[in-house]
Each structure stands twice: as structure tokens, then as C-alpha cells.
Amino acid sequence: MTDTHRKTYRPWQPDAYRQQALSPDDKLPEDDLVFFLIDLVPQLNLRRFYAPYEDETRGAPPFDPALMVCLLLYSYCQGVRSSRKIARACERNLAFLAIVGSDRPDFRTISDFRKLHLEAFIDTFTDVLRLAKEAGLIQLGVLATDGTKMVGNASRHKAMSYGYLVKEVERLRAEITALVKEAQDTDAAEDAVHGSRRGDELPAELARREQRLAAIQAARQRLETQAKADADAERQRRADAEAERARTGQKRRGREPGPIDDTPDPKAQTNFTDPELKIMKTNNKGWDYCGNAQAAVDGKCQIILACDVVPDSNDKQQAVPLAQQTLVNLAHAGIARPVDAQGQAVPIPNLTDSGYYSATAAQGLIDLGLDPYMATERQRHHAAASPLHAPPTEATAKEQMTAKLRTPAGRALYALRKTIVEPVFGQIKGAREIRRFLLRGLEKIRGEWRLICLTHNVLKLWRYRCAPSGV
């Protein structure tokens, strides 16, 4: 066969490449993220990572915690979170090899280290905040708070509704009763077959049904406890509304609400693989078991100052706890709040959407030294600003907040919210493709979200300090 190719190509010699020693220093850019992290990690407080190993003398020496921290930070920055994928990357990816060298941890070591040290990343989070402040990336001129639904590691097919749980409990109890009677009736006849065994061992089917019954009863109890808590919250909400009407002299609008029921809705569901998660409506208009991931973000460079995951789809109760966590993190990082010419702390504007608003939440933010700008209703595009005048003295807290956001200054400030916090979730879910949690259990999910937010800040620090574009 004649050679018809006329084009000259670069030579491809895979056999020769396999014999060459590849050095990350020679092949990766000098300002690559992996080298930034290798320089960054020694500056962090890693005492909590080293503590569990200091007094342990058994077994082979463990991997250096600094190596493991660097590996996890780089992996999460790249959106690689599966311990098996991280282990494979340590064998094949030059940037990962720059961290681990020739002694590579297996997937179980990576998984165990992450589970053991999730809480220790709290200190790392505040360390990175301190470095971000030193780099001028935190200004505390304005904060924005928001939440996003992150799908959990829980199958929708491993769930039951309350109505079905009640029926299943009755069915299993009937089956267990029948199996017990059958076992008692045949005990005498089976003695000769069992020999030296007692013959009264629990039948396998009975054990399986009893275990299933116990799991279902626990699920039923969870739904009943949640229904009672929701009913108590609704009673409190109605009492607060009635007190507000009595104060203002306004009459109730609409029909009188019906009685409050403490029993769960027959369609209310609970999950068996991760009972702490609840089914929530997602952005694609579907439903899934999710965690409500919260973030408080500084306005200058989108640095996340505080983060949390809650099992409630509603954000009403989240504004104050997240603000408290923000102030605690700032204090631990040694970041002082802005002050005026007299040395008095200046209230920091805190922007939230309408899902967070309540009079109690707004007052709670004020008590913490923040200046809340909380939408009380869905914001309309291109709506005219209200004239500059104060609301009447008899106006409710909600009316005062609405008037505050309708002023030209209030509208201009609140408009920043969409440019501060919403892009953060886009960068996490879109750019890094982190759209669901891998771990199970609320505390582990919180630790995983903290690690995701921590690496978001690390990427900001790297891009602003040494990214090639100089952004």
C-alpha cells in the first residue's frame, strides 16, 4: 500500500514516551494550582490533622497529613471527590503526582482520612479566610446570603409515604405472628432433626421481617415527630399573626384557617438510605432528597465567609444562625469589622431574598450589628423606586422593610445580591460540576459542604494572586 499522506505531522512515538521520566516541574506551568497548594498548605494550621496520630505507635507510619490535606484540597478544586477517582488520578495525572510522588495512597486511605478529619477542616476554612483578608479579597462592605438545593446520596426508591408505612406495619405484624405460631407448632417435630442444637433459633424469615418492621416503625416515628414540630410552628405563627393584628387593629383577610393536625400527611415521605434528608423541590421542577446548602458571601471577591447545610427546604430560620457563624468565623480568622471615625462598629449590609424574611429574623440581624436588606416579596424587574420619605410610624416591620428596599439607595444595594452570592453557586455547580453530596448523614454532609466552600475560597485566592490572566 502506497503512502498517500503529504502533510507533515509531529512525530508520535508512544514507546519512547513510556521510557521517559516525566517531571511535573518540567511539564506543568510554574503558576499551576497544584504548586500554589503545595506552597499554601504549610502555611495552614494543621494541628488537628496531626493530633490523632501523635500517640499511635502501632502499624506502619501513616501518610503525612499535610500531603493528604493538599491532595483533598486539589481534588475538590478540580471537582474530583470520589476516593476511587482520586486514587486513580494519583496514578495517571501529573498534577496529582506532583503531590503524592511515588508513594500513592489507595482509595480506602483517602476515604478514611476524609471521614476522620471533616471537622478539622473548620480550622482550615478560617485559615484561608485569614489569608484572603491579607490578600485584600475581603472587605466586609456588604454581605449576601442565599441557599441552594444539593441532591443527597439517597435514592428516591428507598422511601415510603406515611400512609404506606402504616399499612406495612400492620402487614408485617400479621406475618410475624403467623411465623411465630408456625415455629411453635413445629418445634417438637424438628427436635430430632436439630440434634444437639436447641431447635428454637429464630427463623431467618422472622428475623428479616422483624428488622424491616423496626426500620419502618423508626421511619414512622420520624414522620410523626416532624409533623408535631410543624404543627407547633404553625400554632406559633398564627399566634404571632394574631398578636400583630391586635396591635395594628387590622382584621383578618380571607377565611378562618382550619384546625391544626398533629398527624403526618399520608403522602409525607421519609428515606431509608439517609433519613436526615427530606424531599425537596429542585430547580428542574422535580423532587429529590436534598440538603439546603447555605452560604454567606463577602461582596468584594465572592469569598464565602460561612456555610451550612440544613434539612429544611424553607430558609425562614437560616438568616440569623448563618450570620452568627459568619461573625464567629471572622473572629477566629482575626478579621475586624469595619468601624467609623469614632471607632464604632459600622453595621454591615446583609442582603437576602424573600425566602429569609421574617420580622424576627430582621431584628435578629440588627441585634448582631448587621443592616438587613431582606426582600419581603418577589422583586419585580424595572419597577420604579419609591420617593424618599420615611414610612408612617404605625407601619409594620414588614412594611418598613419593604419601604427600605424601594428607595433608590435600597434598590441599588439590593441589586448587588445577584452579583455576589448567586454566581458562587454557579461556579460550584457549573464550573466544578459539584451538584450532589457524596456522603450520608447531616453532619458528614455539612463537613463535605464546608470542604466544597473552602476550596471555592482557595480557587479565588489562587486566581487573584497568581492566575496567568491576572484576574
Amino acid type, 184 = Q
Q: What is the pLDDT of residue 30?
A: 86
State the Cα–Cα distance between residues 78 and 80, nearest whole angstrom. Answer: 5
Single-letter code of the amino acid located at 182: E
Q: How far apart, in whole angstroms, are the C-alpha atoms of residue 304 and residue 323?
A: 12
Query: If you ran DSSP here, which 8-state letter would residue 341 be given?
Result: T
pTM: 0.78
pLDDT of residue 316: 87
Radius of gyration of the chain (CA): 29
Measured CA to CA, the distance from residue 138 to residue 20 in angstroms comes to 45
10 Å CB burial of residue 423 (0-12, 13-18, 19+) is: middle
Q: What is the 3-state secondary structure (H, E, C) of 4-71?
A: CCCCCCCCCCHHHHHCCCCCHHHHCCCCCHHHHHHHHHHHCCCHHHHHHHHCCCCCCCCCCHHHHHHH
- Smallest CA-to-CA distance from 273 within 149, 399, 153 is with 153
For the four alpha carbons of 338, 342, 345 and 351, in that order, the dihedral sign comes to negative
Per-residue pLDDT of the chain (471 residues; tens, 9 = 90+): 455 556 655 676 666 665 667 778 888 888 899 999 999 998 899 999 999 888 777 777 888 899 999 999 999 999 999 999 999 999 989 999 889 888 899 999 999 999 999 999 999 999 999 999 999 999 999 999 999 998 887 766 666 565 655 666 666 566 666 666 666 666 655 555 555 555 455 566 656 666 666 766 766 676 667 767 777 777 777 777 777 777 777 777 777 777 877 776 666 666 666 677 777 887 766 788 889 999 999 999 999 999 999 988 889 889 999 999 999 999 999 999 988 888 888 899 999 998 999 999 999 999 999 999 999 877 665 555 555 555 666 778 888 898 899 889 999 999 999 999 999 999 999 999 999 999 988 999 999 999 999 999 999 999 987 554 443
